[in-house]
Amino acid sequence: PLDAEAAIQAGADGIWVSNHGGRQLDGGPASFDVLPGIAKVVAKRVPVIFDSGIRRGEHVFKALASGADLVAIGRPVIYGLNLGGAEGVKAVFDHLNKELAITMQLAGTPTIEAIKNTPLVQF
């Protein structure tokens, strides 16, 4: 959160939350764990983009509910591209959208804005 504030003060147009490269830092916090604190500090001044471990529609839901404005999806798209070209990429997005829609229905959230207003229980 302190880095996000410093970036905004320096003129950043957005904050990207990612653990890319985090595998080299044993013991570093998980991106999902720091996302809510970063989103709170950012306070809607700039968009918060999240990536890191997004593999299912449920993960997209959790990221949005934790404060992300946008969710980036990398590895599944690359797998889809490798296995099926453009159709493989489309299949990945179709599957993620279907999973997200099911999760939204189960959570009673009809819109993305409703997801953003859904508190997650943390243990």
pLDDT of residue 23: 61
pLDDT of residue 21: 60
Task: Specify the amino acid at residue 64.
Answer: L
Could you write out the three-class secondary structure of 70-92? EECCCHHHHHHHHHHHHHHHHHH
| One pLDDT digit (tens) per residue for the chain, 123 residues | 999 999 999 999 999 999 876 566 667 788 899 999 999 999 999 999 999 889 999 999 999 999 999 999 989 999 999 999 999 999 999 999 999 999 999 999 999 999 999 988 765
20 counts as catalytic: yes
pLDDT of residue 53: 85
CATH superfamily membership of 2-116: Aldolase class I (3.20.20.70)
Residue (of 47, 17, 23) closest to 116 by Cα position: 47
Q: Which residues pair with 16 in a beta bridge?
A: 49
| Contact (Cβ atoms closer than 8 angstroms) between residue 26 and residue 47 | no
What are the residue boundaries of the structural domains of the chain, listed by start?
2-116
Catalytic residue among 20, 40, 45, 90: 20
